[in-house]
Amino acid sequence: MSLDKILSISGKPGLYKIVAQTRNGFVAESLIDQKKMAVNIHNNISVLSEIAVYTLTEELPLREVFKKIKAKENAQQTAISHKDSKDTLEEYFFEVLPDYDEDRVYASDIKKIVQWYNLLQKHDMLDALDEGEPVTADEEE
């Protein structure tokens, strides 16, 4: 499953994967509790493949940030929790991405990135980071 099929929905916790398209939007399944919900086109939705993190020189795609975390953690869960203190989160993120823009990347952003990485790792979806190409239905199962 590629990051093109993984979403963050404003006002809803965690991440969702697109299950099916409907006339007015699509059906998404939560990676936290596997509950399905209808999402219409009026919801504020962010596709993970379209998100980037500000660095001092450029905007780094979230895929690349996840790759750096994966390398640091040897494809395991992060050493910290998304519930840790602001200072702990910023210190950890500085180790992962030393040139991130501290003025434009907030602790709340780091918290989401850590939580999202751990969700993807828990559901064995980190392999999609290396490929950069959508996985076929046969490979998905």
What pTM does this model have?
0.86
Q: Which strands form 45-47's sheet, in the order they lie side by side?
A: 36-40, 25-30, 16-22, 6-9, 45-47
pLDDT in tens, the chain (141 residues): 688 899 999 989 999 999 999 888 999 999 999 999 999 888 899 999 999 999 999 999 999 999 999 999 999 999 999 999 999 999 999 999 999 999 999 999 999 999 999 999 999 988 877 655 444 333 433
Every domain of the chain and the residues it spans: 3-48, 51-131
**Cα dihedral angle (31, 37, 40, 41), rounded to 10 degrees?**
10
What is the Cα gyration radius of the chain? 15
Distances (CA, A) of 75 to 31, 57, 102, 117, 121: 18, 27, 26, 10, 7
Give CA 92 to chain center in angstroms. 17
Beta bridge partners of 54: 59
pLDDT at 141: 37
Give CA 70 to chain center in angstroms. 12
* Residue 55 near residue 98, CB atoms below 8 Å: no
* CATH number assigned to the domain with residue range 3-48, chosen from the 4 options 2.30.29, 2.30.30, 3.40.1350, 3.90.550: 2.30.30
* CATH number assigned to the domain with residue range 51-131, chosen from the 4 options 1.10.3720.10, 3.60.15.10, 1.10.10.1650, 3.30.43.10: 1.10.10.1650
pLDDT at 3: 86
How many CA atoms lie within 13 Å of 112's alpha carbon, on the beta-carbon side?
19
Residue 12: CB atoms within 10 A of its CB come to: 17
